Chain A
Amino acid sequence: MHWDNIIFFLLATGLVSTSVAAVSSKRILRSAIFLAIALLFTAFVYLLLGAELLAGIQILLYAGGVITLIIFALLISEKLGDQKLVETHHGVIPALTASLLVLFILLYFTWSSPRIESLSNSRSLSEYGVSRTLSEVLFSTWVLPLEILSVLLLAAIIGALVLARQEKTKGEEREQ
């Protein structure tokens, strides 16, 4: 318990400092890398709480996949090179209100919700392990939402393809 606390505070310090660095860094690619590290720290916190599957997915999809896409988009876009981002303070008040509101909602519902306590007391570890239990539940009880989600994702992919395709044909016409 003692060691767990120390490790939690180390992770939390890392998480907070990399998150702040991601926002305050003036070079845009540095921000992306700090964001990747922050996401990794989040995954470690999940691991510490015993959510192994969630941590794995976090690393695979967010730290691996999403960050790669972000960096890819950054490198292709033109705002790179030695140009440093100019720090402005135009939207301080709306930004502060929005983030304080989110903080308030999180804190309020974490403390007031009666389900939180029961959740923290129940450590449900089945004998099959997380992946098997989750996949069984996913494909029996929650099969309809899962399928609807996958159709939605498929539609998104096809939509992206159609958009990319149209751009290409226009370009070809211009060349001719």
Chain B
Amino acid sequence: MIYIQGLVQSAILLGAILGIVAYLTWLERKFSGRLQSRVGPYLVGRPHGWLQPIADGLKLISKEDITPSRADRLLFNLAPAWIVVVSLLGFAFLPLTANWVLVNMDLGLLYFTAIGSLLVIGVFAAGWASNNKYALLSSLRSAAQIVAYEVPLLLSLLVPAILAGSLDFKDIIEAQESYWFITFPVIGQISFLIFLLAALAESNKMPFDLSEAESELIAGFNIEYSGMKFAYFYLGEYAHLMAVSLLVSIVFFGGPLGPLLPGGLWIAIKTLAVFLGILWIRWSFLRIRIDQLMMLNWKILTPISFINLLLAGLWVSLNL
């Protein structure tokens, strides 16, 4: 019985996330259009092209699905599915209102990061199975990037966990009753910034999207994919981005806490704000070089996040 209930709940959650993600792509196109003094999609669906995501989806479904003749078929087909599944799995551990979460366990944060670390395998499989040198180069790059940025990502996520004294998202939210962790002097802001940078790098987003540097690598590890399989990568990317925004809004901005409105609405507003902030970063900065990227990680972000973690630990242990 408990399994059936879980199945129904996860099906509802899945549908909701897919719908939201489809409209996040529309939002990004409108937002980036505004940032560049364009209007963005306009013609499909009259006020402001609101049917655009559906048209995109139909187009991608109806396209021919090509598998390169010398590709490794099994891995080539496995990779898009892997990326989508892993990106969507993260949502199972994130609370969506003050007291509703799909999988309720006291290790939510650990599980979320553990699942996130599986993404790189899909990227690898896609890049290698395509049998294309650009795809392979790109997947090597993004693997180096993801492995490297995992370090500051986890270290900066540990700071809110230390401040709350728990890995449970519910406890982390409760601990922010009096103040959000982003407002915690110095420690909170530093760990927020480091997390944001590392998360952008991990999801291969714009200042760090070296794995799809169009000028050098055409379009990256998914270059050989077409039709629905390409859509899977797109979906996975946006789902991951949305999960990261949701995580930031919970861990640093108090999640469902807020006056007047119900908790679910607050979480939605904060997630949207974080998502738009990420888009803003994405469309404002230029891509950096791979050596600069590694330098930034190992010589700046990692030491700072270690010191930050130590300071947080000191503060907590001195106050107890």
Contact = CB atoms under 8 A, between A and B. Distances in A.
B121 A36 contact: yes
Contacts of A36: 118, 121
B106 A33 contact: no
B75 A29 contact: yes
A146 B150 CA distance: 23
B193 interface: no
Interface residues of A, number: 30
Interface in A50-72: 52-53, 56-57, 59-60, 63-65, 67-69, 71-72
Interface stretch (B109-117, B212-220, B271-279, B285-293): B109-117
B252 to A, nearest CB: 21
A30 B74 contact: yes
B75 A33 contact: yes
A52 B107 contact: yes
Interface residues on chain B, size class = 20 to 34
A45 to B, nearest CB: 16
Contacts of B146: 68
B117 A3 contact: no
Interface stretch (A94-102, A124-132, A166-174): A124-132
A56 B107 contact: yes
- Which of the listed residues A59, A67, A68 has the most CB atoms from chain B within 10 Å of its own CB? A68
B244 interface: no
Contact of B117 (A7, A53, A65): A65
A124 to B, nearest CB: 15
Given A29-B128, A33-B78, A33-B125, A129 B168 contact: yes
- Which of the listed residues B114, B117, B147 has the most CB atoms from chain A within 10 Å of its own CB? B114
B106 A68 contact: no
A3 B5 CA distance: 13
Contacts of B78: 33
A82 B71 CA distance: 9
B72 A27 contact: yes
Nearest to A6: B3
A11 to B, nearest CB: 14
Given A33-B121, A82-B70, A60 B105 contact: no
Nearest to A40: B118
B79 to A, nearest CB: 9
A67 B143 CA distance: 11
A156 interface: no
Nearest to B147: A68
A130 B124 contact: no
A75 B133 CA distance: 12
A92 to B, nearest CB: 27
Given A129-B106, A132-B166, A71 B115 contact: no
Contact of B114 (A27, A59, A69, A76): A59
Contacts of A67: 121
A30 B75 contact: yes
Contacts of A72: 140, 143-144, 147
A68 B70 CA distance: 24
A75 B74 contact: no
A64 B150 CA distance: 10
B3 A60 contact: no
The 10 A-B pairs at the shortest CB distance, nearest first, are namely A64-B117, A129-B106, A60-B114, A59-B114, A56-B110, A71-B124, A56-B114, A68-B120, A56-B111, A56-B107
Interface of B: 3, 70, 72, 74-75, 78, 105-107, 110-111, 113-115, 117-118, 120-121, 124-125, 128-129, 136, 139-140, 143-144, 146-147, 150, 166-168
Interface of A: 3, 7, 27, 29-30, 33, 36, 40, 52-53, 56-57, 59-60, 63-65, 67-69, 71-72, 75-76, 80, 82, 129-132
10 contacts: A3-B3, A36-B118, A56-B110, A64-B120, A64-B121, A68-B121, A68-B146, A71-B124, A72-B143, A129-B107
